[in-house]
Each structure stands twice: as C-alpha cells, then as structure tokens.
Structure 1
Amino acid sequence: MPHSPQSPPVRVGLVGAGPWARAMHARSLAAGPETTLAGVWARRPEAAAETAAPYGAPVAATFEELLDLSEAVAFAVPPAIQAELAVRAARAGKPMLLEKPLGPDLASARAVADAVSEHRVVTQLVLTKRYHPATRAFLRAAEDITVTGARSCYLHGAFLDGDLATAWRLEHGALLDLGPHLLDLLDAAIGPITTVRSTGDPRRWIELTCEHANGAVSQASLSGAVPLPRARTQVELYGANGPLLYDTAGLDHEECWPVLRREFAAAVRSGTSHAIDAHRGLRIQELLHQAVA
C-alpha cells in the first residue's frame, strides 16, 4: 500500500544521536513528506540536542517521553541498546524502524521478534542497500537463473578510524555489522541458506561459506579493517546461464533513503509490516549465530 499524499506524515521519534543517527536517520526522517522527526532521545542529552536542533525537533528527557511524542520510533543505537529498548517500544504498541543486527546475540534478537509478534506491531529493517532500485533489479534477475555457486564481499577500512569505529563495531567486528547485508542478499538471491561456517577473525577478516537448500554454495568475505579508497560490496552469481554481477561501486546510496522512508510510512499507515521486518532480522541473526557457533 503506497503512502497516500493525503495521509498526514508519520511522526517518528529517533532513538540515538551518534554519527549514523545524525547523518542518515534524522536527516531522512525530517526530510519528509511521508514522515516528520517527532523528537530525539539519547543517553547523552547534549548529543540529542545537537541531532534535533537542525530540524527544530524536541529533545525527549526519557525514552518514555519519546514514545509519548511519537507514532513510531526509529533506532540508530548499538545492537544491545536496541534490543533492550525495542522490546519496550513493542509493549507500547509503537511501529519500529529497526537497525541490523536486531541484537548483539540470538537470544536478544529472539526477544525482540517475540515482542513484535506478541504485540502485533509494524516493523521494518534498515538493510539500506535493499531499498536501492539496482539491488531490486539484481534480485529480480536472480529469480530467472539457477545458481550453482556464488562469491561476495563487503570490505572497507572504516573500523580503522573515523566515526564508524565505534565500540560495538570494534568489539564484534565485521560479522555483526557487515554480515547481515551479504547474508540477506545471498539468501534472497540464491535461496534459503541452510548452513553457515566461518573462518578468520571478524575484527580483521572473516570468511563465510554458506550451503543453500537448492544445493548451491556461496562465500562471503567480510572486513572493516582493510584500507580501501571506498567501500567494496559485490555479489557474483554463477550458473548455467553465465554470471550475474551486483556491484555497489556506481550506486548513489542517497537513493535508498527516500524509498525506505516512503515504504516505512506506508507500512505504518496500513498496519502491515514490511517484507524486510523484524522476523527477517531474526532469520539473519540465526545465520550470524550459526556462523560462530
């Protein structure tokens, strides 16, 4: 159900005030027209004020106050904080725009998904690349081929320094941060992943080998600690029809956010979760858990 121009914008409160919250979530939600930034709450009030100020949004003194200000909430916080607060937001009946991974581990992710199911709240997952037209074209093309094997990578050097070298990323490495993107794409493009094995160190370089229900085998190389001039994300599918390549090098990621925002508003107004929702997030978390089990 598309968002109707006659529908009032969805008032979305933002949880978090870090670099990602400032650069992407706050800016996108405030841009509208499908949403407005209803308020910002963070554990550091000064950071919340800095994030809210450019858009004239209020700063909530507590998480509960943010829930009162908002029709829906968006999370841009570390996984452990999201997992804790998302359960409380679900109990309050608030639709949620959730980051990946759902939580730092499988138990916390399952608690979020269970709360979502129990309270029947609308959810959508910020797997950013999934909202780009080129990604959707790649997945449609993949439906027409029988895949024998696949290679993929998501590589960058952002964990070496800069805004994205945050504590949770440095602790858990590329598997939790970058892994959801590739596991989601491989699972969607080839068919359900049944087993995942890993080698390496997620804080340096980790290699995943996936077996799919249809017999295909895929691999994923992940690192946030290799110096590159720009991030490299590629998926190569191989089968009888020849290779199919997905490469984000030429993509403008700014094209993802208006689609994401529009579809979240439509989900909230229709009362129906997006196809990429908390349960998809749990499925990905199960694969992450299996990779390190």
Structure 2
Amino acid sequence: MLADALYADGPVRVGLAGAGPWARAMHARMLAAGPETRLTAVWARRPEAAAETAAPYGAAVAASFDELLERSEAIAFAVPPAVQAELAVRAARAGKALLLEKPLAAGLDEARALADTVAESGVVSQLVLTKRYHPVTRDFLRRAASVRVTGARSCYLHGAFLGGEFATSWRLEQGALYDLGPHLLDLLDASVGPIASVRAAGDSRRWIELTCEHENGAVSQASLSGSVRLARARTRVELYGEDGEVVYDTAELDHEECWPVLRREFAAAVRTGRPTPLDAARGLRLQELIARAAA
C-alpha cells in the first residue's frame, strides 16, 4: 500500500547527465529497469554518445542540459567531478532531485558550494556509494556498531587505472584518493567512528596509505591503489578490539544486488522529500576528509 501511494503519479522521471562507460554500465541500465524510476532522457557533450546510451531504453536524447532539466524531475550524474559540481548546482536551483557520484567535486570549495546549494534549495540528494546499498555491507555496519574498536586495517585495490575504459583522465590525474578514497573513508567513518584527523603517505596515482585517528581514540589504516594488477578488485575492512574482530570483504559480493536497493531508496526519497543519510552533506564530509589527506 505504501509503495502504491508513493508511485501513484508513476515512476520518478530521471534524466541522465553523462554517457561514458559508467553511465552505460550502471546508471542508464539501473534507472531504466524500474519500476520505481524511468529513464526519460540522456544528455552528454557528445550527442552521439548520448544517443548510444539512450537507445536501448527508448529514452530521449536531450539537445542541452536545460532540455534535460525540463524533461526530468530528478537528475543522475555520471560525469567527471568538476563537471558534476557545476551542473548539479544548476539542477538543484531548478528544483531537481540529485543522484550524485563521488567525489562531489574536484575541490573542496566546489563541493561545499554544491552541498550548500542543495541545502538552500531543499532538494533531495543521494550519493552512489555503491557498496553501501548491499545487504552484506549493511550487516557489517550493524555488527560493527556492537563492538568497541581499538584499531582497523582496510584496503581498496584494483588495476583499472592501468588501462581500459575506466582509465579516464580525471581518475588518472587525481588517483585513488579521489576515486576509491570516498568509499573506504565512508566505511571507516561509519564502522569505527567519526574520523577526527587523516594524513597520507605515497602517491595517489600509484599507491597511497591513509592513517586516520577517530574521535573515540581508535586508529585505522587504509591502503588505496588503482594501479596494481589483480584478478579482481579487492575491498576489505578489518576491525579489531577487546570484543574480537569484525571483517568485511567484498570478494563474494555481487554488485548487481546493489542497484535495485539504490533505485528504490532514491525514488522513495524523491517522492517523500526525505533524503537518506547518504546525501550531499555526507558527500561534503567525505570531500573534507579527502582534502585533509591531500594536504
């Protein structure tokens, strides 16, 4: 009955900004799958790429970002961080709900401007922190809440920066701290406790180590790299304390289970006007931690 009431006006009409590999592999496919959302249109700076992304789902190709806004009640972003920061501000001011990628922006000032605009406009925002929508991740965070953590070790490693369609210019320039860091910092901040300080060693484009001190006195370590040859991406968080250990490992995690949860929760947030905790303000928090590490 609640679902019927939420979608009495039909699925949420979502426009997609971007037509790169992530837009094709995830955003377009997820939003078009419904039933809570409908992919209405795609806009990209290369019209031919937008047409290729839209065609399998019968979505329109918007000739401009303004046209995308007119066709949609929510906008999903699959563009580089610097582009997202600019366009998402325009969308928020137009009253559109936002499905945002991480990091929010290329820099802290732009991320703060976006988060402030979202708050001032009163629009719903939500972050695509993929792993957060998987039942295994949520079970890990529930278990973590029941233990007193003394220290933690974690890693997020893959070889996507070595070549292929995800070795995009912004990822190669800014490296793992900006691409993978939001995921791992979010998990450590949520499972160990709020991070009070973070410092880094290494090269974000090759291998970078983060040391975090948490408000509760715990210390955690995070290893990040997109430039190591592995058979598959590796994400692991190990929590240690007087109550024993709690381990989170994505080796057997099927990411296809994330998309229906993400879509359903975003659509519900749009219809109710109540965002989840994974909103632009959370994105700003993660960007602040990245900025501290980069400094």
- Give the TM bin, normalised by the shorter chain: over 0.9
Q: What's the % identity of the aligned pairs?
A: 74
Is the contact made by 1:15 and 1:40 (CA closer than 8 Å) also made in structure 2? yes
Residues 93-135 of structure 1: CA deviation (Å, up to 9, x unaligned): 1000000000011001001001101111100000000000000
Partner of 1:134: 136
- Shift of the alpha carbon at 1:12? 0.2
Q: Which amino acid aligns with 1:287?
A: L
Matched residues in 2 for 1:149 and 1:49: separation? 49
Post-superposition, which runs of at least 4 consecutive aligned residues in structure 1 deviate over 6 A?
Answer: none
Q: 1:236 aligns with which of 228, 235, 238?
A: 238
Residue pairs, 1:265-276, within 5 angstroms: 265-276=267-278
Q: Normalising by structure 2, what TM-score?
A: 0.98
Partner of 2:65: 63
Q: 1:86 aligns with which of 85, 88, 102?
A: 88
Matched, 1:288 2:290: yes
Matched residues in 1 for 2:133 and 2:107: separation? 25
Q: Cα 1:247–1:134, aligned 2, differ >3 Å: closer, same or farther? A: same
Q: 2:31 aligns with which of 24, 29, 42?
A: 29
Matched residues in 2 for 1:2 and 1:230: separation? 40
Matched, 1:18 2:20: yes
Matched residues in 2 for 1:275 and 1:68: separation? 28
Residues 188-228 of structure 1: CA deviation (Å, up to 9, x unaligned): 00110000000000000000000000000000000000000
Matched residues in 2 for 1:128 and 1:48: separation? 23
Q: Cα 1:254–1:60, aligned 2, differ >3 Å: closer, same or farther? A: same
3-state DSSP class of the match of 2:60? coil
- Shift of the alpha carbon at 1:4? 3.6
Q: 2:99 aligns with which of 93, 97, 108?
A: 97
- Shift of the alpha carbon at 1:243? 1.1
3-state DSSP class of the match of 2:247? strand
3-state DSSP class of the match of 1:108? helix
Q: RMSD over aligned Cα, in angstroms? A: 1.1
Matched residues in 2 for 1:101 and 1:289: separation? 11
Matched residues in 1 for 2:289 and 2:153: separation? 17
Is the contact made by 1:2 and 1:263 (CA closer than 8 Å) also made in structure 2? no
Is the contact made by 1:73 and 1:96 (CA closer than 8 Å) also made in structure 2? yes
Q: Which amino acid aligns with 2:217?
A: G
- Shift of the alpha carbon at 1:275? 1.1
Partner of 2:266: 264
Partner of 2:229: 227
Matched, 1:113 2:110: no
Q: Normalising by structure 1, what TM-score?
A: 0.99
Matched, 1:150 2:152: yes
Partner of 2:174: 172
Is the contact made by 1:2 and 1:266 (CA closer than 8 Å) also made in structure 2? no
- Shift of the alpha carbon at 1:184? 0.2
3-state DSSP class of the match of 1:180? helix
Residues 12-52 of structure 1: CA deviation (Å, up to 9, x unaligned): 00000000000100000000000000100000000000000
- Shift of the alpha carbon at 1:273? 1.3
Matched residues in 1 for 2:193 and 2:258: separation? 24
Matched residues in 1 for 2:254 and 2:180: separation? 18
Partner of 1:206: 208
Residue ranges of structure 1 left out of the alignment (5+ in a row): none
Matched, 1:246 2:229: no
Matched residues in 2 for 1:280 and 1:50: separation? 33
Partner of 1:194: 196
Matched residues in 2 for 1:231 and 1:174: separation? 13
Matched residues in 1 for 2:166 and 2:116: separation? 30
- Shift of the alpha carbon at 1:2? 6.4
Residue ranges of structure 2 left out of the alignment (5+ in a row): none
Partner of 1:162: 164
Matched residues in 2 for 1:241 and 1:47: separation? 52
Provide the aligned length of Structure 1 versus Structure 2. 293
3-state DSSP class of the match of 1:116? helix
Residues 51-91 of structure 1: CA deviation (Å, up to 9, x unaligned): 00000100000000000000100000000000000000010
Q: Cα 1:3–1:204, aligned 2, differ >3 Å: closer, same or farther? A: farther
